[in-house]
Amino acid sequence: MLAVGGSALGSQLLTGADGYTGCLAQNGDLLRFKAGDSPLGPCTGNQVQVHFAGDLESIMAGTGLVGQTQNGVVTLSVAPNYSLPQGCATGKFAKWDGAAWVCGHPDDPAPLP
């Protein structure tokens, strides 16, 4: 299990699957990789053990994410209802209007729940 910025990420080898195991450093370097379910040596310091096995064939996206698989390519993106507008004019900012994120002005009243 890998904790990143308050989120948890991780993977495990499937039974009978060929895979690789190693250590992931905080700077993103992958170290001590070898085939099987154990790294070449123990992960140290803030490194975490990670497993890689085969190709991704599907993805289960949690709240606020959309995932899909097509021809072996897996994509994961932010769901539209969780995506902030990117083209707000100067002086405006992303604001929830009660139904969606929109570009708002600081003086606009907040919607009631």
List, run by run, the mean pLDDT of 10-residue segments along the chain (113 residues).
35 56 89 90 92 73 84 81 90 87 82 55
Amino acid, res. 25: A
Strand order in the sheet with 48-53: 30-35, 19-24, 48-53
pTM passes above 0.85: no
| pLDDT for the residue 47 | 93
Residue located via tokens 């009660």? 98
> Running DSSP on this structure, what letter comes out for residue 54?
S
